[in-house]
Amino acid sequence: MIELTEQEQIAKHYSACMDSVNLINGGKPEDMTDAEWADCLSRNKEHLRIMLAKDYWTTEDLAPLQAASA
């Protein structure tokens, strides 16, 4: 099993957060109901709020996470 360095782990978390940002900013997919979209938004915004509370961020640009989680 390959162990990731601390910086690699942070990069992985940041990438996952940016996936949420991109999903939120991309708007509702055509094949999703309004209720499904509302649930999806809620879960992804909560994910971003949880991740923003972490204390391991270094030089990452957290502005997109903050904007999308609002």
Under the banding of pLDDT at 50, 70 and 90, the label for residue 4 is confident
The string of pLDDT tens digits covering residues 8-63 is 999 999 999 999 999 999 999 999 999 999 999 999 999 999 999 999 999 999 99
Q: 23 exposed, middle or buried (CB, 10 Å; 0-12, 13-18, 19+)?
A: middle
User: Rounded to whole angstroms, how far apart are CA atoms 40 and 42?
Assistant: 5
User: Rounded to whole angstroms, how far apart are CA atoms 52 and 70?
Assistant: 12
User: Rounded to whole angstroms, how far apart are CA atoms 35 and 8?
Assistant: 36
Report CA 20 to chain centroid distance, whole Å: 4
